[in-house]
Structure 1
């Protein structure tokens, strides 16, 4: 989770977040190389004098370079971006399906993979009810438990206005739109407790819609919901 004075991205616990973090680092590396190269080019042009600058005004080689190099840079960004986009869609087979409904200002969850439907609401814990070590504005009364090292399909919708179900530690964010069912894939690599918040302005209590998801083993998951 994000900490005070944190400059970098959060430690990712899912493959999507790891791939997104690698793409972010790769993009920042290209931006740094472009900035340094442009500064060196300006320094060379200015230090070489007006005579050489005038000679570059009709250079075919220069025109070829500033056409091919940006095209290559865009290609080098587009290919991993498309790969990441299709990677986020994930596989077509899932181990579990979780349905998420956004409300003003709480979340409703539903699991239909059991003999009986498991559904519950999740509200933020009031400040007066927080215990020692709890996180302000992030703790919820009902944490969602999901199995780690499993493919979980999350169906997201809204019962009133626009919301957004986001888990930064997994690199995931999806809009909850009224009358529309969006989906995404959630997969965690290790037992974790991740937090998120509604990432779409949805009213006066928008800042008080935290998300809590705990990734546990299959045995603990079945003991929690299987009965």
Structure 2
């Protein structure tokens, strides 16, 4: 039972992820309605003894099965475009962080803080403590304050990587020589895990991402410490 419960989305902890989950539920509702309608039509056609062999065409039927799918696509496209623009919208970020993908670790630079940067390596199995996650723990976590908008600039230093945190609903390619950006508004405190999701070499699966969300006061203490 627990295996089936793990097939869904992780709990959304950002505005964009919450919107993404709602859009997914909306699409599934539409698809369920379509499947029920088509299934009922198949059952009806298979169980009836009446057939219209003399009917060669029906303008009404052709009009209905052309217009109805078009209307359904419009109702799917509008919220999809809303999410697309929401993912690119940047209002007034309070903090900017640059994430740089290397083979095979991440570096983080806090652009608003002078000379504040660090590398984030995966913790080996021999150094794990009770409660740590194998292949997901790092020695230095990315720390962000919740309740404010943060901007993440993502790039690569050697090959293409991908900065991905499922709980945030973000997956951004880290391309050498190019900056991609995303905005995050975290809902509350917590620790969230991700991994590079671009095949970047032999140790691709050993460059995890750990994002820790804290309040603004604790963030200032962490920066000063």
In 1, distance between residues paired with 2:104 and 2:3? 26
Change (3 A) 1:63 1:55: farther
Alpha-carbon shift at residue 4 of structure 1 (Å): 5.2
The partner residue of 1:188 within 182, 186, 189 is 186
Alpha-carbon shift at residue 31 of structure 1 (Å): 1.1
The partner residue of 2:130 within 121, 127, 132 is 132
Residues 104 and 203 of structure 1 are in contact (CA less than 8 Å); yes or no, is this contact kept in structure 2?
Answer: yes
Aligned partner of 1:159 in structure 2 is: 157
- 4+ long deviations beyond 4 Å: none
Aligned partner of 2:199 in structure 1 is: 201
Q: Deviations over 1:21-78 (max 9, x none)?
A: 00011111111111111111111122223523x3664111110111011101100100
Aligned partner of 2:47 in structure 1 is: 47
SS of the equivalent of 1:97 reads: strand
In 2, distance between residues paired with 1:131 and 1:168? 24
Aligned partner of 1:82 in structure 2 is: 81
Change (3 A) 1:141 1:43: same
In 1, distance between residues paired with 2:138 and 2:218? 19
Residues 198 and 207 of structure 1 are in contact (CA less than 8 Å); yes or no, is this contact kept in structure 2?
Answer: yes
Alpha-carbon shift at residue 192 of structure 1 (Å): 1.3
1:93 aligns with 2:88: no
Residues 160 and 178 of structure 1 are in contact (CA less than 8 Å); yes or no, is this contact kept in structure 2?
Answer: yes
SS of the equivalent of 2:122 reads: coil
Change (3 A) 1:172 1:153: same
Gaps of 5+ in 1: none
Change (3 A) 1:205 1:57: farther
Gaps of 5+ in 2: none
Alpha-carbon shift at residue 89 of structure 1 (Å): 1.6
In 1, distance between residues paired with 2:54 and 2:85? 47
The partner residue of 1:122 within 109, 120, 123 is 120
SS of the equivalent of 1:203 reads: coil
Aligned partner of 1:59 in structure 2 is: 58
Aligned partner of 1:15 in structure 2 is: 15
Aligned partner of 2:112 in structure 1 is: 113
Change (3 A) 1:23 1:57: farther
Residues 56 and 62 of structure 1 are in contact (CA less than 8 Å); yes or no, is this contact kept in structure 2?
Answer: no
Please give the TM-score of this superposition, normalised by the length of structure 2.
0.95
Task: Give the superposed CA RMSD.
Answer: 1.4
In 1, distance between residues paired with 2:185 and 2:26? 23
Aligned partner of 1:29 in structure 2 is: 29
